[in-house]
Structure 1
C-alpha cells in the first residue's frame, strides 16, 4: 500500500512536470509568433529629380520611377518568403546587395533619358542606390521621389521640336547628305570671353586669273586639333567639346565667284577653292595662319571666306545671341 501511494505520487509529479513543460512551450511559441509579425523592411533614400524633364523623356522617366518602387516591393516580399534561410548576412548578400545594383542601373537610366534632349543631370546614382534594413518593420515600402516640372528650358516659347523624334526625314548618317535629320547633340558652349573668334587680316584686293596668292587668318579661342573627315562619315557626328574652356576644332577657307554683288548667291555650287586647317595649334592667344590659294581660274568678283568649325564642321556656338560668330569674308577682283 505504501509503495503504491508512492508510485501514484510520482506519476502525479511526472504528469505535472509534463503539463508545465507543455504550458511553457505554448508560451514560448506565442512569444515567437508575436516577434515574427515584426518582419524587417527595406528603407531606401529619396530620389530627387530637380531638373526639368524633356517631354520626350517623360514616359521613360516615369517607367523607371515606378520600377524603383517595384524593386523595393519585391525586396520586401522576398524578405518575408525567405525568413529563416541562410546565415546572418543572408538579407544583405541575397536581397540588399542585388537591390543596390538594380537601383543604380535604374537611376542611371533616368539620367540618360533626360540627357538625350537636355543636359544630362547627376542624380547621385551611386549615393542613392544603397538601402538599409528596418529591423522593426514598417519602413518605407515605396520609393519617394521629388520630380521637377516636365517643361524643358524654353518650353514656353512655342518650340517646334528639339529632337528628330518628330521628324519625317531619315536619320543623318555622318556623310554629306541633305534632307536628313541630325540627332547629334550640340555639346559644350564656352563662356562669352572664351568663345571662338576669327578675322582675315591680310588679302589682296585684286589678282590675275590663275595667279597664286595668300590670305592671312587670325583665330582666337580655337584649338585647331579636331577635324573629322566629312567624306568618311565624320560630318555632324561629334558634339562640340571644350578643353580648358576653349572649343576644339579647325577652320575652313573657301573662295567662290559671285554672279552678282546685289543678290545672295546660290549656295550649292562647289567653290573654286577650299581648304580645312587643322594644325594642332591655336588656343586662347590669337595667332595667324597663312592660307595658300593656287589661283582662281575665272575673271570676276571672288568672295573668299574663313569660318571656324568644331570637330563636326559646325560653327562654334556662342554664349549670347548678339555675339559675332567666328567667321570673316573679303572680296577680291580677279582680272
Structure 2
C-alpha cells in the first residue's frame, strides 16, 4: 500500500524506535487466528550474523505472554456456535472468551517471522550482492542526502524517483528486489550510499513508490498532511507516550493500524433492528430481527486471539467486509447515560458469509435476560477490526440501531 510522504518524513530505521518489528509481528499474526505449527529454526541459522533482524524478532517472540481473560457477558452462550439452522455463526463477546495461550502466540509469532522477516533478509542480501556496489561516487554526506531524498521526495526527484525511504512497518512482508535496485541508484557515497541501498532492499516496494512520487513531483516540497492548518493534535502513534496496542483488549494503548478503505456514500453500510419485543419475562428467550445493507459479513478476528483493532478496513466490490454485533444491557437510570464498563447481559458478533448491496435480515436469538427492568438492546456493524465502518460523508448515520425491552 502506498504511504503518503508526509507520514514517512521522519520514519525511524528498521528495527528501531517505538515501532519495532515485534509489534508488527504480534499485530499481523494475531489477525490470522487459530494455531499454527512451530517452524523449526536451526541453531546455525540463528547464530548467523546476517540474520540479526530475524534473531532479534525470534527472541521477542519467545517473550510473548498470553493476555488475561476479560470479563464476559452474563447470559450469552459461551464460545462460538451456529443459529438459523446452522447458517449463521455467532461469536460470544466478540470472541473475547477464545483466549490464545502463550504457546500459541509464540508459535504464530515464529511462523510469521520466518515467512516474512527471514525471507526479506534473504532477498536483501541477494540485492546487496548484485547491486550494492552500483552507487555513484560522492562522499558520505551525499549518501545521507540520497537516503533522505527517498523519505521526503526531494532527492527522489533528482534521481528520477529511484531513492528509497526508510523502511516502514510493512517492510518485511513486501518484495525486496525493487527496493534494493532503487537504493543502489542513490547518488550517495560508496560506503554510506551502499548501505542505504541495502536498506532499500529490506524495505521493498514501499520505498520505491515513495521515491517515484518524489520523481513525479520533481523533487518538490513535502506534501502537507490532511487537516493541515486545523491544529490537529496528531495523526500517528509516533507522538504518543502510550504503549503500542497489541491486538488484545487493553486500554491506555495507542493503535497504529491505518483506517483503511472507505467506500462511496451509496455503498456505506446501514443497519436496522426490524423486529423486537417490547416486553418479556425474566429468562424468557426472544428474537431480534436485524437487517443490514452494504455489509459483507465474512470478516471476523476473535478479540481473545489478538484480532482487536489490527486489521484496516477492506472493501470488496466497494462494500465493507466485516460482521455485526448485538448486545443487551440493563439501564439503571433512564435519564442519564449509562456507565460504559459493566459487561452486558448478552453480546454476540454475527458472521455468516452473506450480506451485500441488497438488504437482508438475520435472526438474533437472545436466551433471556436475568433481571427485571429496562434493557437497551443494540446492533451495530463492524469491520474486520470490530470498528463501526467509516462513511464518506460526516453527516451520514452510522450502521447502528437500538431498542428498549422491558423485562418483568
TM-score, normalization by structure 1: 0.64
**Match for residue 53 of structure 1?**
5
Alignment partner of 2:234 out of 150, 154, 161: 161
Distance of aligned partners of 1:113 and 1:330 in 2 relative to their CA distance in 1, 3 Å threshold: farther
CA distance in 1, matches of 2:396, 2:211: 31
CA distance in 1, matches of 2:277, 2:406: 9
**Secondary structure of the corresponding residue to residue 187 of structure 1:** coil
In the TM superposition, what is the alpha-carbon distance from 1:154 to its structure 2 partner? 1.1
In the TM superposition, what is the alpha-carbon distance from 1:146 to its structure 2 partner? 2.8
CA distance in 2, matches of 1:108, 1:307: 41
In the TM superposition, what is the alpha-carbon distance from 1:150 to its structure 2 partner? 3.4
In the TM superposition, what is the alpha-carbon distance from 1:200 to its structure 2 partner? 0.2
**Secondary structure of the corresponding residue to residue 238 of structure 1:** coil
Task: Report whether the alignment pairs 1:310 with 2:383.
Answer: yes
Distance of aligned partners of 1:71 and 1:223 in 2 relative to their CA distance in 1, 3 Å threshold: closer
Distance of aligned partners of 1:146 and 1:198 in 2 relative to their CA distance in 1, 3 Å threshold: same
**Match for residue 255 of structure 2?**
182
CA contact (8 A) 2:331 2:374 kept: yes
Task: Report whether the alignment pairs 1:102 with 2:184.
Answer: yes
CA distance in 2, matches of 1:271, 1:147: 54
Distance of aligned partners of 1:174 and 1:310 in 2 relative to their CA distance in 1, 3 Å threshold: same
CA distance in 1, matches of 2:159, 2:380: 53
Deviations 1:168-198 (A, max 9, x none): 1100000000010000000000000000000
In the TM superposition, what is the alpha-carbon distance from 1:147 to its structure 2 partner? 2.2
CA contact (8 A) 1:223 1:249 kept: yes
**Secondary structure of the corresponding residue to residue 123 of structure 1:** helix
**Secondary structure of the corresponding residue to residue 9 of structure 2:** helix
In the TM superposition, what is the alpha-carbon distance from 1:145 to its structure 2 partner? 3.3
CA distance in 2, matches of 1:246, 1:280: 13
Deviations 1:306-326 (A, max 9, x none): 000000100000001100000
CA distance in 1, matches of 2:400, 2:392: 16
**Match for residue 148 of structure 2?**
62
Alignment partner of 2:332 out of 259, 279, 284: 259
CA distance in 1, matches of 2:154, 2:5: 16
In the TM superposition, what is the alpha-carbon distance from 1:58 to its structure 2 partner? 2.0
Structure 1: unaligned runs, 5 residues or longer = 1-50, 73-97, 115-119, 129-142
Task: Report whether the alignment pairs 1:281 with 2:334.
Answer: no
Distance of aligned partners of 1:316 and 1:298 in 2 relative to their CA distance in 1, 3 Å threshold: same
Distance of aligned partners of 1:238 and 1:325 in 2 relative to their CA distance in 1, 3 Å threshold: same
TM-score, normalization by structure 2: 0.53
Matches within 5 A, 1:1-335: 53-54=5-6, 56-59=7-10, 62-64=148-150, 102-103=184-185, 112=206, 123=212, 145-335=218-408
CA contact (8 A) 1:52 1:151 kept: no
In the TM superposition, what is the alpha-carbon distance from 1:153 to its structure 2 partner? 1.5
**Secondary structure of the corresponding residue to residue 155 of structure 1:** coil
Highest Rg: 1 or 2?
A: 1
In the TM superposition, what is the alpha-carbon distance from 1:256 to its structure 2 partner? 0.2
CA distance in 1, matches of 2:394, 2:368: 36
Distance of aligned partners of 1:333 and 1:103 in 2 relative to their CA distance in 1, 3 Å threshold: farther
CA distance in 1, matches of 2:217, 2:327: 58
The root-mean-square deviation of aligned C-alpha atoms, in Å, is 3.3
In the TM superposition, what is the alpha-carbon distance from 1:102 to its structure 2 partner? 2.8
**Secondary structure of the corresponding residue to residue 146 of structure 1:** coil
CA contact (8 A) 2:324 2:381 kept: yes
CA distance in 2, matches of 1:188, 1:68: 27
**Secondary structure of the corresponding residue to residue 229 of structure 2:** helix
**Number of aligned pairs?**
238
CA distance in 1, matches of 2:226, 2:202: 22
CA contact (8 A) 1:71 1:99 kept: no
